[in-house]
Amino acid sequence: MTQSPWQPISPAKPARPVKEPLTRERIVDAAMRLMVEQGYDAVSMRKIAQVLDTGPASLYAHVANKSELDQLLVDRAAEQMKLPETPDPERWQEQLKDAMREMIRVMRANPGVARAAIGNVPLGEQALLMTERILAILKAGRIPDQAAAWAVDLIPLYVTAVAFEETVQNAAAWTPEDVTHFTTQMSEFFKQLPVDRFPFTVALAVPMTSGADGDERFEFGITVIAAGLASLAEKD
Protein backbone atom coordinates (compact mmCIF):
# COMPACT_ATOMS: atom_id res chain seq x y z
CA MET A 1 0.00 0.00 0.00
CA THR A 2 1.39 3.40 -0.96
CA GLN A 3 1.79 6.08 1.65
CA SER A 4 -1.03 8.66 1.93
CA PRO A 5 -0.06 12.02 0.43
CA TRP A 6 -0.93 13.80 3.71
CA GLN A 7 1.04 11.37 5.90
CA PRO A 8 4.42 12.83 6.85
CA ILE A 9 7.37 10.93 5.48
CA SER A 10 9.31 9.28 8.28
CA PRO A 11 12.97 10.27 8.26
CA ALA A 12 15.31 7.46 7.39
CA LYS A 13 16.89 5.92 10.47
CA PRO A 14 20.64 6.55 10.62
CA ALA A 15 22.66 3.45 9.95
CA ARG A 16 24.10 1.97 13.10
CA PRO A 17 27.89 1.98 13.11
CA VAL A 18 29.20 -1.53 12.71
CA LYS A 19 31.16 -2.62 15.78
CA GLU A 20 34.63 -3.92 15.15
CA PRO A 21 34.63 -7.63 15.97
CA LEU A 22 36.11 -8.52 19.34
CA THR A 23 39.32 -10.52 18.96
CA ARG A 24 42.11 -11.72 21.19
CA GLU A 25 44.46 -9.25 19.45
CA ARG A 26 42.21 -6.29 20.31
CA ILE A 27 41.93 -7.44 23.91
CA VAL A 28 45.72 -7.67 24.26
CA ASP A 29 46.14 -4.29 22.54
CA ALA A 30 43.77 -2.67 25.04
CA ALA A 31 45.37 -4.43 28.01
CA MET A 32 48.85 -3.36 26.89
CA ARG A 33 47.76 0.28 26.56
CA LEU A 34 46.15 0.22 30.00
CA MET A 35 49.24 -1.35 31.56
CA VAL A 36 51.68 1.14 30.00
CA GLU A 37 49.52 4.16 30.81
CA GLN A 38 48.16 3.22 34.25
CA GLY A 39 50.28 0.34 35.54
CA TYR A 40 49.79 -3.39 35.96
CA ASP A 41 47.21 -3.10 38.76
CA ALA A 42 44.92 -1.08 36.49
CA VAL A 43 44.53 -4.00 34.08
CA SER A 44 41.32 -5.91 34.76
CA MET A 45 38.80 -7.64 32.54
CA ARG A 46 36.23 -5.04 33.56
CA LYS A 47 38.45 -2.11 32.55
CA ILE A 48 39.44 -3.75 29.29
CA ALA A 49 35.76 -4.31 28.51
CA GLN A 50 35.06 -0.62 29.15
CA VAL A 51 37.85 0.42 26.78
CA LEU A 52 36.47 -1.89 24.09
CA ASP A 53 32.85 -0.84 24.75
CA THR A 54 31.65 -4.34 25.55
CA GLY A 55 30.72 -6.46 28.54
CA PRO A 56 33.34 -8.33 30.59
CA ALA A 57 31.65 -11.66 29.86
CA SER A 58 32.33 -11.26 26.13
CA LEU A 59 36.09 -11.19 26.79
CA TYR A 60 36.08 -14.69 28.23
CA ALA A 61 35.24 -16.16 24.83
CA HIS A 62 38.76 -15.09 23.77
CA VAL A 63 40.82 -15.01 27.00
CA ALA A 64 40.17 -17.60 29.70
CA ASN A 65 41.23 -15.55 32.73
CA LYS A 66 43.73 -13.00 34.07
CA SER A 67 46.51 -15.60 34.16
CA GLU A 68 46.15 -16.23 30.44
CA LEU A 69 46.05 -12.48 29.85
CA ASP A 70 49.39 -12.16 31.69
CA GLN A 71 50.84 -14.82 29.38
CA LEU A 72 49.57 -12.90 26.35
CA LEU A 73 51.05 -9.63 27.61
CA VAL A 74 54.43 -11.28 28.16
CA ASP A 75 54.26 -12.79 24.69
CA ARG A 76 53.41 -9.42 23.15
CA ALA A 77 56.46 -7.92 24.85
CA ALA A 78 58.64 -10.82 23.69
CA GLU A 79 57.55 -10.06 20.13
CA GLN A 80 59.30 -6.68 20.45
CA MET A 81 62.64 -8.21 21.44
CA LYS A 82 65.29 -8.41 18.74
CA LEU A 83 67.63 -11.27 19.60
CA PRO A 84 70.40 -12.61 17.36
CA GLU A 85 69.16 -15.38 15.09
CA THR A 86 72.65 -16.69 14.36
CA PRO A 87 74.73 -17.50 17.44
CA ASP A 88 78.45 -16.81 17.14
CA PRO A 89 80.71 -19.17 19.14
CA GLU A 90 83.42 -16.49 19.17
CA ARG A 91 81.11 -13.80 20.57
CA TRP A 92 78.55 -15.80 22.51
CA GLN A 93 79.11 -14.00 25.82
CA GLU A 94 78.57 -10.60 24.22
CA GLN A 95 75.54 -11.92 22.36
CA LEU A 96 74.14 -13.20 25.65
CA LYS A 97 74.66 -9.81 27.30
CA ASP A 98 73.08 -8.09 24.27
CA ALA A 99 70.05 -10.38 24.65
CA MET A 100 69.69 -9.37 28.31
CA ARG A 101 70.04 -5.69 27.37
CA GLU A 102 67.29 -6.16 24.79
CA MET A 103 65.05 -7.82 27.37
CA ILE A 104 65.44 -4.96 29.85
CA ARG A 105 64.88 -2.42 27.05
CA VAL A 106 61.51 -3.93 26.16
CA MET A 107 60.45 -4.30 29.79
CA ARG A 108 61.30 -0.65 30.45
CA ALA A 109 59.32 0.36 27.36
CA ASN A 110 56.32 -1.61 28.68
CA PRO A 111 56.08 -0.80 32.41
CA GLY A 112 54.13 -3.50 34.17
CA VAL A 113 55.06 -6.39 31.91
CA ALA A 114 57.70 -7.48 34.44
CA ARG A 115 54.93 -7.87 37.03
CA ALA A 116 52.94 -9.97 34.56
CA ALA A 117 56.00 -12.14 33.92
CA ILE A 118 56.96 -12.85 37.54
CA GLY A 119 55.85 -16.32 38.58
CA ASN A 120 54.83 -17.28 35.04
CA VAL A 121 56.47 -19.87 32.78
CA PRO A 122 56.44 -18.19 29.35
CA LEU A 123 54.62 -20.54 26.98
CA GLY A 124 53.55 -18.19 24.19
CA GLU A 125 55.07 -18.63 20.73
CA GLN A 126 57.15 -15.43 20.83
CA ALA A 127 58.37 -16.06 24.38
CA LEU A 128 59.37 -19.61 23.42
CA LEU A 129 61.26 -18.25 20.40
CA MET A 130 63.16 -15.93 22.74
CA THR A 131 63.99 -18.92 24.95
CA GLU A 132 65.10 -20.89 21.88
CA ARG A 133 67.48 -18.15 20.75
CA ILE A 134 69.06 -17.79 24.18
CA LEU A 135 69.54 -21.57 24.33
CA ALA A 136 71.20 -21.41 20.90
CA ILE A 137 73.64 -18.78 22.18
CA LEU A 138 74.42 -20.83 25.27
CA LYS A 139 75.02 -23.98 23.25
CA ALA A 140 77.26 -22.00 20.88
CA GLY A 141 79.31 -21.25 23.99
CA ARG A 142 79.45 -24.98 24.75
CA ILE A 143 77.49 -24.65 27.98
CA PRO A 144 76.44 -28.12 29.25
CA ASP A 145 72.81 -29.05 28.70
CA GLN A 146 71.71 -28.88 32.33
CA ALA A 147 73.51 -25.57 32.92
CA ALA A 148 71.93 -24.13 29.76
CA ALA A 149 68.48 -25.29 30.91
CA TRP A 150 68.90 -23.63 34.31
CA ALA A 151 70.47 -20.51 32.78
CA VAL A 152 67.53 -19.94 30.47
CA ASP A 153 65.41 -19.69 33.62
CA LEU A 154 67.92 -17.64 35.63
CA ILE A 155 68.48 -15.01 32.91
CA PRO A 156 64.85 -13.86 32.48
CA LEU A 157 64.40 -14.06 36.26
CA TYR A 158 67.27 -11.61 36.82
CA VAL A 159 66.14 -9.20 34.10
CA THR A 160 62.50 -9.35 35.22
CA ALA A 161 63.44 -8.71 38.86
CA VAL A 162 65.47 -5.63 37.86
CA ALA A 163 62.64 -4.31 35.68
CA PHE A 164 60.05 -4.95 38.39
CA GLU A 165 62.15 -3.17 41.01
CA GLU A 166 62.49 -0.18 38.66
CA THR A 167 58.71 -0.14 38.15
CA VAL A 168 58.14 -0.02 41.91
CA GLN A 169 60.72 2.75 42.33
CA ASN A 170 59.27 4.78 39.46
CA ALA A 171 55.80 4.49 41.00
CA ALA A 172 57.19 6.27 44.07
CA ALA A 173 58.05 9.23 41.79
CA TRP A 174 61.39 9.88 43.44
CA THR A 175 63.48 12.74 42.11
CA PRO A 176 67.27 12.41 41.66
CA GLU A 177 67.58 14.52 44.81
CA ASP A 178 65.40 12.04 46.71
CA VAL A 179 67.64 9.17 45.58
CA THR A 180 70.79 11.03 46.64
CA HIS A 181 69.29 11.82 50.03
CA PHE A 182 68.23 8.19 50.56
CA THR A 183 71.62 6.70 49.59
CA THR A 184 73.44 9.22 51.81
CA GLN A 185 71.26 8.25 54.75
CA MET A 186 71.75 4.55 54.01
CA SER A 187 75.53 5.01 53.87
CA GLU A 188 75.51 6.80 57.24
CA PHE A 189 73.35 4.03 58.71
CA PHE A 190 75.84 1.35 57.60
CA LYS A 191 78.79 3.35 58.98
CA GLN A 192 77.18 3.56 62.41
CA LEU A 193 76.61 -0.17 62.79
CA PRO A 194 78.65 -1.93 65.52
CA VAL A 195 81.96 -2.55 63.81
CA ASP A 196 82.67 -5.64 65.92
CA ARG A 197 79.55 -7.36 64.53
CA PHE A 198 79.41 -5.86 61.01
CA PRO A 199 83.05 -5.10 60.09
CA PHE A 200 82.66 -5.58 56.34
CA THR A 201 79.36 -3.75 56.08
CA VAL A 202 80.91 -0.76 57.86
CA ALA A 203 84.07 -0.91 55.73
CA LEU A 204 82.08 -1.12 52.49
CA ALA A 205 79.40 1.41 53.44
CA VAL A 206 80.30 3.77 50.60
CA PRO A 207 80.65 1.17 47.79
CA MET A 208 77.41 -0.48 48.92
CA THR A 209 75.50 2.78 48.49
CA SER A 210 77.22 4.13 45.37
CA GLY A 211 76.75 3.34 41.70
CA ALA A 212 72.99 3.84 42.04
CA ASP A 213 72.63 4.20 38.28
CA GLY A 214 70.36 1.38 37.10
CA ASP A 215 72.32 0.70 33.92
CA GLU A 216 75.64 0.41 35.78
CA ARG A 217 74.24 -2.12 38.24
CA PHE A 218 72.47 -4.03 35.48
CA GLU A 219 75.69 -4.27 33.46
CA PHE A 220 77.45 -5.67 36.52
CA GLY A 221 74.77 -8.35 36.86
CA ILE A 222 74.84 -9.48 33.25
CA THR A 223 78.66 -9.53 33.26
CA VAL A 224 78.63 -11.80 36.33
CA ILE A 225 76.06 -14.12 34.72
CA ALA A 226 77.95 -14.36 31.41
CA ALA A 227 81.32 -14.91 33.13
CA GLY A 228 79.84 -17.51 35.47
CA LEU A 229 78.37 -19.46 32.58
CA ALA A 230 81.65 -19.21 30.67
CA SER A 231 83.41 -20.91 33.59
CA LEU A 232 81.11 -23.92 33.03
CA ALA A 233 81.78 -24.22 29.30
CA GLU A 234 82.95 -27.61 28.08
CA LYS A 235 86.64 -27.69 27.21
CA ASP A 236 88.19 -29.21 24.09
Element (H, E) at 156: helix 145-171
Q: Quote the percentage of the chain above a pLDDT of 70.
A: 91
CB 43 within 8 A of CB 65: no
Q: What is the mean pLDDT of residues 144-166?
A: 95
Binned at pLDDT 50, 70 and 90, residue 179 comes out as: confident
Binned at pLDDT 50, 70 and 90, residue 8 comes out as: low
pLDDT of residue 171: 72
CB 180 within 8 A of CB 209: no
State pLDDT tens for residues 25-84: 999 999 999 999 998 998 999 999 999 999 989 999 999 999 999 999 999 999 999 988
Q: What is the mean pLDDT of residues 153-158?
A: 95
Binned at pLDDT 50, 70 and 90, residue 6 comes out as: low
Q: What is the mean pLDDT of residues 12-21?
A: 64
pLDDT of residue 51: 92
Cα gap 49→66, rounded to integer Å: 13
Cα gap 103→192, rounded to integer Å: 39
67's CB contacts (< 8 A; 6+ apart) are 120
Enter the pTM of the model.
0.84
pLDDT of residue 14: 60
Distance of CA 57 to the CA centre of its chain: 27
| AA identity, residue 204 | L
Q: What is the DSSP string of 186-221?
A: HHHHHHTS-TTT-HHHHHTHHHHT----HHHHHHHH
Binned at pLDDT 50, 70 and 90, residue 210 comes out as: confident
| AA identity, residue 130 | M
Among 126, 128, 139, residue whose Cα is nearest residue 86: 139
pLDDT of residue 18: 59
pLDDT exceeds cutoff 90 at 172: no
Binned at pLDDT 50, 70 and 90, residue 88 comes out as: very high
pLDDT of residue 167: 86
pLDDT exceeds cutoff 80 at 1: no
Q: What is the DSSP string of 74-140?
A: HHHHHHT----SS--TTTHHHHHHHHHHHHHHHHHHSTTHHHHHTT----SHHHHHHHHHHHHHHHH
Distance of CA 227 to the CA centre of its chain: 24
Task: Look up residue 20 and give its DSSP letter.
Answer: P
pLDDT exceeds cutoff 80 at 153: yes
State pLDDT tens for residues 109-147: 998 999 999 888 888 999 999 999 999 999 999 999 999
Choice among 6-20, 159-173, 220-234 with the minimum mean pLDDT: 6-20
CB 116 within 8 A of CB 40: yes
CB 130 within 8 A of CB 81: yes
Count CB-CB contacts under 10 A for residue 160. 22
Cα gap 217→213, rounded to integer Å: 7
| AA identity, residue 52 | L
Among 148, 144, 151, 129, residue whose Cα is nearest residue 84: 129
Instruction: Tell me the domains of the chain and their CATH numbers.
Output: 24-63 (1.10.10.60), 77-230 (1.10.357.10)
What does pLDDT average to over the chain? 89
